[in-house]
Amino acid sequence: MAEKRKTPLTKELTKGIIAENPVLRLVLGTCPTLATSVSVTNAIGMGIAATLVLVCSNVVISALRKVIPSKVRIPAYIVVIASFVTIVQMLVKAFVPALDEALGVYLPLIVVNCIILGRAEAFAGKNSVAASFLDGVGMGIGFTVALVVMATIREVLGSGTFLDGIDSLTALFGYTGFTGFKNILSQPMAILTLAPGGFFVFGVVMALANMLAERKGKPKAEHTGCAGCPMAHSCGLRASDCSENKEKEEKAV
């Protein structure tokens, strides 16, 4: 992604879905992943909201990349992202109030989602508008897919339902006939819908992703620490203090 080799535009779109999945491969956006994967409906809603913000902010930031001075680019990116988050927040409040209630504080917190600022910093600030648009769509789909996979496990095993409350989303298209499958399990494991279940399912899903990646000969996901941190540039000089870099240095010494 950072390397300067010409890649076909379709690759920008597809890389985010599996090969560079933002959640399972780049380990970005962990907070919303854990918090909103309680039910598939929430996961889809969160995924769509974050994708909208990601695509819009990627396009605008990419279009402005030659205008924004590099010293103030992070605040500039934050303003662009925050504006789109506010717009999405208003749209969700107006059209899908049930989702607004379910996502609560995590909806405005899209503004500090590492995926969005990370993509602005790593991709949109350096690439053309078309490539940034496709990158945004691909990363957004990848985020949604990872969320839905986790939410499916947590919802089916944790509350014994699937797609419960989906009618609040499909009502946008004027269809409310389907309200989800209920009573799949007679005794669901409620712990999976609580916080510990979130961490556990995320760990297991990531282990599975590592296993699949290994079969294809790809390195396993590591928390990139500084490399994945959107603020890496502003603290670059002091990166030696980051715990992960420190360890490397200690080993080198």
Contact between 178 and another protein (CB under 8 A)?
no
Q: How far apart are CA 29 and CA 110, in angstroms?
A: 9
User: Which residue, 4 or 215, has its beta carbon nearer to another protein?
Assistant: 215
CB of 33 to another protein, least distance (A): 8
Q: Give the single-character DSSP code of 172.
A: G
CB of 177 to another protein, least distance (A): 33
CA-nearest of 36, 32, 45, 37 to 168 is: 45
Q: How far is CA 192 from the centre of its chain?
A: 21
CA-nearest of 70, 206, 59, 72 to 119 is: 59
Contact string (CB under 8 A) for another protein, positions 76-95, x = contact: --xx--xx-xx--xx-----
Q: What is the largest CA-CA distance in the chain?
A: 66
Site for another protein in 10-69 (CB under 8 A): 27, 30-32, 34-35
User: Which residue, 73 or 131, has its beta carbon nearer to another protein?
Assistant: 73
CB of 13 to another protein, least distance (A): 26
Phi, psi angle pair for 18, to nearest 5°: -120, -60
For residue 248, with 0-12 CB atoms within 10 Å meaning exposed, 13-18 middle and 19 or more buried, which class applies? exposed
Interface with another protein (CB under 8 A), residue total 59
Residues lying near another protein in the complex (CB under 8 A) are found at: 27, 30-32, 34-35, 74-75, 78-79, 82-83, 85-86, 89-90, 104-105, 108-109, 111-114, 117, 191, 194-200, 202-204, 206-208, 210-211, 214, 220-223, 225, 229-231, 234-235, 238, 241-244, 246-247
